[in-house]
Chains A and B, each alone.
Chain A
Amino acid sequence: MSALDRIRKQVTGNPVILYMKGTPQMPQCGFSSRAAQALMECGEEFAYVNVLMDPEIFQDLPKFADWPTFPQLYINGELIGGCDITLELHEKGELQQMVHEARGGSA
């Protein structure tokens, strides 16, 4: 399976998924760390992919949704944005609701 096919499968198979450098527990980039922290504060489960452990995904993810940098947050298969957008949504209180709804909670 090509990396793009794997990404497609990951973002459609997981309602909330974060592509990041490192892991939520051991982030290896300040931007990834902040995005993961914001998601954890939402109190819902989310999937993540450590792009540093997967050179193919590292290389092809920027092409997938025309987004050149990491981290990248996808909700219901759609690119929400990188670190700055994730934090902005979190600050406005919208992220928690988006994640909650995607995880099957009521609005």
Chain B
Amino acid sequence: MDMRQNIADKLQAQLAPAYLNVEDESHMHNVPPGAQSHFKVTVVAAEFSGQSLVNRHRRVNRILAEELAGQVHALALHTLSEEEWQAKPDVPDSPPCRGGSKVQPKSPT
């Protein structure tokens, strides 16, 4: 399955975003090629206006709950209202890996 496309489709359907960009950043991390595990999402949606950052992220995390419980290990999120996007249309780069996915505790979910 193309996870990037799957994430994009779900967010498109649920948030009707004015702008949406989903990047597969798995290659930046300590995972096998083609893992489709680390993603960066930039999403601009009218409904975010007046909503706290925590609640915006919760909304996206809920839409992608199934993916986050499965193969999606990390989701960098940049959630903007349309007004914020017009004022500052750039998002920071995601960080490099520090190897942690290799040392998961023995009993994760």
Contacts and interface: CB of A to CB of B under 8 A. Distances in A.
Interface string B76-108: 111000000000000010111111110111111
Given A58-B108, A80-B54, A85-B57, 11 more contacts: A28-B98, A29-B99, A30-B97, A53-B105, A54-B105, A55-B106, A55-B107, A58-B105, A67-B58, A88-B53, A89-B53
Nearest to B58: A66
B75 interface: yes
List of 4 A-B pairs having minimum Cβ-Cβ separation, nearest first? A30-B95, A28-B100, A55-B105, A29-B100
Interface of B: 28-29, 53-54, 57-58, 61, 65, 68-69, 74-78, 92, 94-101, 103-109
A7 to B, nearest CB: 15
Given A54-B105, A55-B105, A68-B68, A32 B57 contact: no
A38 B51 CA distance: 23
A52 interface: yes
A52 B105 contact: yes
B58, B100, B106: which has the most chain A beta carbons within 10 Å?
Answer: B100
A7 B100 CA distance: 22
Contacts of B104: 52, 58
B75, B95, B101, B104: which has the most chain A beta carbons within 10 Å?
Answer: B95
Interface of A: 21-22, 27-34, 51-55, 58-59, 62, 66-69, 79-85, 87-89
Contact of A69 (B68, B101, B106, B107): B68
Nearest to A91: B92
18 contacts: A22-B98, A27-B98, A27-B100, A28-B99, A30-B96, A31-B94, A31-B95, A58-B105, A59-B108, A62-B109, A67-B57, A68-B69, A69-B61, A83-B95, A84-B77, A85-B54, A85-B57, A88-B53
